[in-house]
Amino acid sequence: MDYLPLFVDVKNRPCLVVGGGDIAARKAGLLLKAQARVTLVSPRVSISTQALINAEKIQWVNALFSAELLNESILVIAATDDEDVNREVYKQAKQRNILVNVADCPALCDFILPSILDRSPIVVAVSSGGKSPILARQLRARLETLIPPTYGRLAELVGRYREKVQDKFPKISMRRRFWESILQGKVADHVLAGREQLGEEVFQAMLQKTQSEELQKGEVYLVGAGPGDPELLTFKALRLMQQADIVFYDRLVSKEVLALVRREAEQVYVGKQRAWHAVRQEEINQLLLVQAQQGKRVLRLKGGDPFIFGRGGEEIETLAAENIPFQVVPGITAASGCASYAGIPLTHRDYSQSCTFVTGQLKQGELDLNWASLVQPRQTVVVYMGLAGLPVLTQKLQDHGMPSTMPVALVQQGTTSHQKVWISTLAEIAALAEREQPVAPTLVIIGEVVNLHNSLSWFEIKD
Ligand code: SAH
């Protein structure tokens, strides 16, 4: 970070603008918006500057810049078209330790003016560190569409009740929960839709009826983190991730996804790998329970979908038995994610009318699957955890009559920047895997649809 973002209170404080053109007028206007006391020095002024002078909003010194004008100022903005003058302003300001900005000249700036989205009292400032003000403006325009003008009204409303809420809920954690329920619930809906009075009435009712104990109850969020690409998270997943106190996450959860969890939340790795368990399943169940019993909002973040080969059911069984509230948020499972990003439709009118998900995890070197059903034609078989057992799996399928020419895809680390796809046949894929050594997680897709990869592949990884 090259600059520290600050919001400075300039109300009634003396600020100097050097220059009388349109840019100077704009800078003066900005300072006025923040209620600064503005002095503008310039021997000539443009029409827009004149308008500010006529409206008696700024004090005009009709002269050339002189250093003593700085003695009274807390900051100065130079916006003349004379480089020497700008440089002189900079030099004099530095000598006096006054913050200085020279328009369009980052090298002569102590501070830069960001692009501003004003939803007062909410203000969003975007800066490109002087590298590209136009890019910052474009970003601000995008934010404009996301943050409706009524956000300011919402902030005003909650601002009026800050102290009351503080009095009623002495603990920070309680207040945080109370505000979250307000700002994500009906009150916010009403105010953002322009029904401010109704919003305030609902707010008052909630403030009165909410009991401290309610705000101290723990809860568990069992959330599917998807296959890796953070953009594949659901809105709900993201919202719960942002309000968790502690997160227990898997090996399959990508670091990009983890980075979106509330920064203050404690992070605990409970990943499992094929051959060893970092924390055994029963221990995980217990950990979730204990943390929720302590009143925490516990996020259990699992790769893909928690109810597909994720043992999510077992984790919430313990909670259900102990009456701990929980929510389950589905995620995009590896089959959907990998198939989409590899350009392999899981079903297709010409090739496949059904799709089966199976686990290829070996138990004592064996696979216990319903082979007769898996070898039926016109279907797609997706194998999770199938890499280590690939030789057994492919042999068994052939033994039960699946053609050895059946196309098979291996999708390594699907949807991520490490995605790799290999295509081969049932007879040859195990040897290919032996040669290429795909890394976990890798998904196996078997069926005629795999051939479509050649024409439908679209996801390109750029290094
Ligand atoms: N609950 C998860 C699956 C857990 S089982 C889900 O719904 O996706 C773990 C297996 O999922 C891995 O062995 C691998 O076969 C598959 N898998 C998960 N994420 C994957 C990814 N990004 N790319 C390829 N395979 C993946």
pLDDT, tens digit (0-9, with 9 covering 90-100), for 400-416: 999 999 999 999 999 99
Residue 277 has pLDDT above 80, yes or no: no
Ligand 1 contacts CB of residue 310 (under 6 A): yes
Do 248 and 264 sit in the same domain of this protein?
Answer: yes
User: In which element (H, E) is residue 395 found?
Assistant: helix 390-399
Q: Are residues 109 and 120 in the same domain?
A: no
Pocket of ligand 1 contains residue 252 by CB under 6 Å: yes
Query: 106 and 121 share a domain?
Result: no
> Does any ligand 1 atom lie closer than 6 A to the CB of residue 443?
yes
Confidence of residue 272 (pLDDT cuts 50, 70, 90): low
pLDDT, average across residues 90-103: 96
Q: Is 463 a domain residue?
A: no
Of the three residues 147, 168, 200, the one that is the final residue of a domain is 147
Answer whether 330 contacts ligand 1 (Cβ < 6 A). no
Query: Does ligand 1 have an atom closer than 6 angstroms to the CB of 305?
Result: yes
Do 344 and 447 lie in one domain? The reply is yes
What's the mean per-residue pLDDT of the chain? Answer: 93
pLDDT at 463 over 70: no
Strand 59-61 versus strand 37-41 pairing type? parallel
Q: How far is the CA of 388 from the centre of ligand 1 (A)?
A: 14
pLDDT of residue 278: 58
Q: Is 274 a residue whose pLDDT tops 60? A: no
Has residue 461 been placed in a domain?
no
Query: 1 and 108 in one domain?
Result: yes
Quick one: tokens of 52?
């500010």
- One domain, residues 169 and 261: no
Looking at the predicted structure, is the pLDDT value of residue 173 above 90? no
312 and 341 inside one domain: no
Instruction: Collect all residues with Cβ–Cβ distance below 8 Å to 170 and sequence separation of at least 6.
Output: none
Percent of the chain with pLDDT over 90: 78
Average pLDDT on 134-144 reads: 88
Do 233 and 126 lie in a common domain? no
Q: What confidence score (pLDDT) does residue 132 get?
A: 86
Kindly give the distance from the C-alpha atom of residue 270 to the centroid of ligand 1, in angstroms, as a whole number.
Answer: 16
Distance 358 CA to ligand 1 centre (A): 11
Residue where one domain finishes, among candidates 183, 210, 237: 210
Query: Same domain, yes or no, for 191 and 228?
Result: no
73-95: pLDDT as tens digits: 999 999 999 999 999 999 999 99
Asked if residue 420 is part of any domain, the answer here is: yes
Structural domain contains residue 462: no
DSSP 415: T
Ligand 1 pocket, mutate which of 252, 273, 383, 439 (most atoms under 8 A from CB): 252
**CATH assignment at residue 417:** 3.30.950.10
Q: How far does the chain reach from its first CA to its final CA, in angstroms? A: 24
Q: In this prediction, what percent of the chain has a pLDDT beyond 70?
A: 98
Q: Which range scores top for mean pLDDT: 58-67, 123-132, 140-149? A: 58-67
In this structure, what CATH number is given to the domain that contains residue 131?
3.30.160.110
* Structural domain contains residue 248: yes
pTM above 0.75, yes or no: no
Q: From the alpha carbon of 226, which atom of ligand 1 is closest? A: 8
> 327: CA distance to ligand 1 center in Å?
22
Range of the domain at 143: 115-147
Q: Are residues 190 and 266 in the same domain?
A: no
Q: Are 74 and 98 in contact (CB under 8 A)?
A: yes
User: What phi and psi, each to the nearest 5 degrees, are found at residue 278?
Assistant: -60, -50
**How far, in Å, CA of 27 to CA of 107, rounded?**
18
Q: With 60 as the cut, is the pLDDT of residue 273 above it? A: no
User: Is 236 contained in some domain?
Assistant: yes
Domain co-membership, 39 together with 79 = yes
pLDDT range class, residue 269, cuts 50, 70, 90: very high
Say how far apart CA 313 and CA 328 lie, in whole Å: 10
d(CA 223, CA 179): 23
Does one domain contain both 243 and 183?
A: no
Tell which one of 384, 421, 461 to mutate to probe ligand 1, the residue whose CB is within 8 A of the most ligand atoms.
384
Domain count along the chain: 5
Could you tell me if the CB of 441 is within 6 A of ligand 1?
yes
Which pLDDT band, with edges at 50, 70 and 90, does 28 fall under?
Answer: very high
Average pLDDT (287-313) is: 94
Q: 310, 332, 354: which is the final residue of a domain?
A: 332
Model confidence band, residue 137 (pLDDT cutoffs 50, 70, 90): confident
Q: What was the pLDDT predicted at 213?
A: 83
Establish whether residue 315 lines the binding site of ligand 1, counting it when its CB lies within 6 angstroms of any ligand atom.
Answer: no
Whether the CB of 442 sits within 6 Å of ligand 1: yes
**Ligand 1 binding pocket mutation candidate from 253, 309, 381 (most atoms within 8 A of CB):** 309
Write the pLDDT tens digit of every residue in 245-264: 999 998 999 999 999 999 88
Task: Report the catalytic residues.
Answer: 250, 272
